[in-house]
Structure 1
Amino acid sequence: MNPAARTHDDVTPPTQSAVQLAGGEPFLVRDKPVPVPGEHQILGRVECVGLCWSDVKLRRQFEQHVRKGPVLRDAWLRDVPSYVPGRLPAVPGHEAVLRVVAVGSAVTGAVVGGRYVVQPDFRDLPTAHSNGAFGYNFEGGLQQYVLLDERVVLAAEGRSHLLPAPGTAAASQLALVEPWACVEHAFAARERRRLRSGGTVLVAGAGDAGGLDLSASGRVLCTTPHPGMTAVDPAALAPRSVDDLLYHGSDAAELERLMPLMANGGLVLVATGGRRFGRPVDLSVGRVHYGGLRIAATTSDDLADALAGIPATGTPREGAHVTVVGAGGPMGVMTMVRAILASRPAVAGSGPAALVEGAVRNPARAAALRRRVARAAAEHGVEVRLFDPRTERPRGPVDHCFLMAPVPGLIGTAIEDAAEGGVIDVFAGIAEDVPVDLDTYAAKRLHLTGTSGSAVGDMRAVLAEVAAGRLDTNLPVGAVSGMAGALDALDAVRDRAIPGKVVVYPALDDLPLLDLAALVARHPGIGPLLEDGNWSGPAERELLRLAARR
């Protein structure tokens, strides 16, 4: 151990068990060296890590994943052993809670013995298409010990990506704060409802700025001459150099040529003036999720109409009819619960009650979902309906649709089902170019939104709910595992074989993957400790106690 490091009383072993991805295929190593923390580094023992569909996407895409790329201007990172961009073998697992066992001499933001939840989105470290992230281009938590660098986890605003965690909470509760925070981020995200101050505006098509105030814009360009604007050939503009696109018209090919110019966080306003595109338009819908791109449209001549249709936040409006597509998966369960908590209760005389629907194909997942959301629905007086989307449709026009499955075709179905002024949240990352019926989209004045990951504030909000006992993050858990079952667990997530979330306890080296029924069959004493059949803190403590006896 580095003599400059401050260490915990526990003896840290020289090697550990870990899952690694190389070329996209996972393998289990039993002799990965436990790193020695350098001057600015933190060594944590991983208590629990949740598995996520994003781990499957990393497995499939590996170095092509937007968060596996190198950090821009990364020379200072090359001496950090846990920085693994590009083709370097990765350790997945971004939903983690850890206990610090050693820190370097210069570390001030973490204490030995402290318990922390990791906020994995290192937004201060941009890559070409996204940002640095724990479990992607930095090693994640699917190992027994993980090394973090304080210069990475300390955000520019002075906020740490290591959030102090209550010592009384179950490890699984804390590990699952991260996915719940992703749902919280989707609800809490504030939408941009004005042109970007100091940004680049491109006016294209048959009209002008349509009365929008361009005075705060840094640069105003146009494809056809307009007074006070600089005429340009769009082909001469660099990709992702436009913050706001103001488009009048209905030329699908022209709009498709302009879409690659949009920067992350860009805003596309379309006014068709009553004309029709006549065919689906390939829009960069994948960047709605990963890049914060927003598209608003109107059939009028007034671009301000399109801008006015953008909602203030991602929270469904009061009394909204909400549909969660792919509700049977772990993130779907969380979104169903969050939608129920945000909905208007069915109280006589208070207006229409909210309806929260879940589209679920798998009967076992539907049964598990019904059980998991029953208490929240009853307590909040919200009607819940589950349906099989292969044979049924939502009960009437949908005000707010969450798309939890990465299936491009779901965009078209959501547009068909949407109510006027409806919101479609592309929660799951999908292919970048998706044909969209922009004629119906404009006629209904719909809004595509989407977020990726979470922010530190979202994690803090969820942690506060957990600490206060108002949110049970264990609701989605369907199976547990130790390192012996970690590869099976990754396969189960990929194959959607478990009706719920899988949590891994790295310290349990020889525990195979077990769904809750199989776990109770093996250890009957755990059964009475489940809460309404769901994983719980007492059940976790009993599992760890039993493991310690072996």
Structure 2
Amino acid sequence: MTKTDPLFRSPALNRHWPHRGGSFDALLQARPEELPFAPPAPGEVIARVEAVSICSSDIKIIRMGRDHPLFAGAAGPVDTVLGHEVCLRVEAVGAGQADRFRKGQRLALQPAMLVEGRRSIIGMDLPGGFAQMLRLGPEALADYVMEAPETVSAATVALLEPYGCVERAWSANVRRALKPGGRALVVSAPGADFDLSALPSWVTITAVGPRPGFLRGLKVTEAASLEGLAGPFDDILALGDLPAADLAQLCALLAVDGLLLQGRDGPSPGPVAIDPARVHYDRLAFLGTRQRDLATALAPEAQRFDTRPGGVALIHGAGGAMGRIHVHRLLQLADGPRTVIASSRKGPRLAAIEADFGPIARANGRKLVVADAENLATLVAEHAPGGLDDAVVVAPNPAAVAMAAGWLAPDGLLALFAGFPYGRLLDLDLAAVALSGKRLTGSTGCSLQDMEGVLARVVAGSLDLSANIAAVAGIDQLPRALKAVADGAVSGKIIIYPQRPDLPLAPVEDWGAADEAGLTG
């Protein structure tokens, strides 16, 4: 990288890898580009990318292009720079940001921004970190960056985001109460008898079926059936023994951040067709109760998100980098499960999980069980005869979700961490949320607070992220590194150092700050 002076008054050349929706094969034949990079506008900061980690989402975006769920609704061709797990160093500060930022300041980034209620992701909607420099606008600088300490490696700072995403998967990641000012749909089966003493001030209420008593005196729009209803609805109350087809329709009518509250006491109607992409990307909440008072489903004790202390948890698809992070977290969690079952289809990845995390499990008095596809059912039955307390599905595989759901205990938690394309339906026993307390959650991305929590554990010495660094490379090796991740040739994260374009792709162990000398600037 060249620039005319340290104050960045003249344009610099930014070496980067654009992504314009081409195939993986096309990427492997491509070359990086160098284009002038103008100084910051008053509200901007220009940052040097010290390190960027490859995410499985980068692979998915390359493979799916415009069909990727996070591109849904976007106009125009794909034209961006990927890379969202970054460690940044401030190079130049716009006049309007001089009170908060300074040249040389080190920053961590939470890339999944919400701007005026719309998703705007750095490394997808906006150019990301597979580049030597990154431009941060006022929205990112206001709420999505934090100062990073000099005492940890750049690779560690880059990994705060993926570790934060795993923290988010085990936290209260969806709405937990009915929404004042929202649109409500109340659907009742004949004979349903449920009460809700405290109603939010819904702006509209639509009712299908017998009207429950708690709607008496309120302005309600009656509908003869679910057919033709104009959603989406923020809150949907499903009361009584509604059939599976009705529950499936109700799921489809939920708004982003919507909540489906079931009250039922009869038998399960069987599998319900649910779009797992909506659970993962749209933050849908599923609550339920058998008791007459629907408020019991809204109580904090009825809404478990984290792993059950002393239980048995399955990480289904643990061989990849994000699955490994889930394993790592559960084994180091103070009140974590007594047994963690880690599954993978690839033998070398299983060996790597055992080698990297077996000592951590033993040091913390936990049991780590690694399982390939052939032995997984047997091992689940052996270690969780009453059913799994928790199951996280990391692989975007419908069969994997179905298997994990079938192995859950009646009040177990199923977390959909993998992103599916929208519209690919899965059959799940949704009524069990009300009948037995089963939990269904999904999440994507994280908050800055999640990353701060990970960093606090790193600084305190209770979490070492280097266990998940498998290889390093310069930015000119990016296609090879992406292919290695896509092929499952590495177990763990590959860290790219954009300021050393010629750095070969090489495996590493116990990678730390001292190993980065000369690589970050």
Task: Tell me the TM-score range normalised by the shorter chain.
Answer: 0.7 to 0.9
3-state secondary structure, aligned to 1:366? helix
Maintained 8 Å contact 1:422/1:444: no
Q: How does 1:394-413 map to 2 (within 5 A)?
A: 394=380, 395-396=383-384, 397-413=387-403
Q: Which piece of structure 1 moves more, 193-202 or 413-422? A: 193-202
* Alignment partner of 2:139 out of 152, 156, 177: 152
Paired position in structure 2 for 1:538: 514
The AA in structure 2 aligned to 1:113 is G
3-state secondary structure, aligned to 1:57? helix
Paired position in structure 2 for 1:3: none
CA deviations 1:178-237 (Å, max 9, x no partner) are 101111122232654432233332111405571123522413321125244524334454
For 2:349 and 2:10, locate their aligned partners in 1 and report how far apart those are by CA, in whole Å.
Answer: 41
For 2:267 and 2:329, locate their aligned partners in 1 and report how far apart those are by CA, in whole Å.
Answer: 39
The AA in structure 2 aligned to 1:61 is M
3-state secondary structure, aligned to 1:62? helix
Paired position in structure 1 for 2:474: 482
CA deviations 1:289-316 (Å, max 9, x no partner) are 1111022456777756655697445211
1:173 CA drift (Å): 0.9
Paired position in structure 1 for 2:206: 221
The answer to whether the aligner puts 1:14 opposite 2:12 as a matched pair is yes
Maintained 8 Å contact 1:201/1:217: no
Paired position in structure 2 for 1:465: 457
For 2:149 and 2:376, locate their aligned partners in 1 and report how far apart those are by CA, in whole Å.
Answer: 44
RMSD of aligned alpha carbons? 2.9
Q: Which piece of structure 1 moves more, 198-207 or 450-459? A: 198-207
Q: How does 1:264-413 map to 2 (within 5 A)?
A: 264-278=256-270, 280-297=271-288, 311-342=302-333, 344=335, 354-393=338-377, 394=380, 395-396=383-384, 397-413=387-403
3-state secondary structure, aligned to 2:349? helix
1:15 CA drift (Å): 1.9
3-state secondary structure, aligned to 1:96? strand
* Alignment partner of 2:112 out of 103, 116, 121: 121
- The number of residue pairs the alignment matches comes to 495
Identity of aligned residues (%): 31
The AA in structure 2 aligned to 1:534 is D
Maintained 8 Å contact 1:40/1:106: yes
The answer to whether the aligner puts 1:509 opposite 2:507 as a matched pair is no
For 1:358 and 1:88, locate their aligned partners in 2 and report how far apart those are by CA, in whole Å.
Answer: 36
Paired position in structure 1 for 2:253: 261
1:258 CA drift (Å): 2.6
CA deviations 1:320-358 (Å, max 9, x no partner) are 21111111211111111211222548xxxxxxx711111
Paired position in structure 1 for 2:443: 451
3-state secondary structure, aligned to 2:467? coil
For 1:487 and 1:13, locate their aligned partners in 2 and report how far apart those are by CA, in whole Å.
Answer: 27
Q: Relative to 1, partners in 2 of residues 1:464 and 1:121: Cα closer, same or farther, differing over 3 Å?
A: same
Maintained 8 Å contact 1:188/1:314: yes
The answer to whether the aligner puts 1:60 opposite 2:43 as a matched pair is no
Q: Relative to 1, partners in 2 of residues 1:14 and 1:438: Cα closer, same or farther, differing over 3 Å?
A: closer
The AA in structure 2 aligned to 1:537 is A
CA deviations 1:347-378 (Å, max 9, x no partner) are xxxxxx71111112212111111122234323
Maintained 8 Å contact 1:15/1:34: yes
CA deviations 1:449-477 (Å, max 9, x no partner) are 12110111111112222233332122111
1:88 CA drift (Å): 4.5
TM-score by length of 2: 0.87
Unaligned runs of 5+ in 1: 1-6, 72-84, 346-352, 517-532
Q: Relative to 1, partners in 2 of residues 1:418 and 1:308: Cα closer, same or farther, differing over 3 Å?
A: farther
Q: Relative to 1, partners in 2 of residues 1:482 and 1:11: Cα closer, same or farther, differing over 3 Å?
A: farther
Unaligned runs of 5+ in 2: none
CA deviations 1:240-288 (Å, max 9, x no partner) are 233233243242222222322201221213345424424x321132211
TM-score by length of 1: 0.82
1:29 CA drift (Å): 2.4
* Alignment partner of 1:39 out of 34, 42, 54: 42
The answer to whether the aligner puts 1:133 opposite 2:110 as a matched pair is no
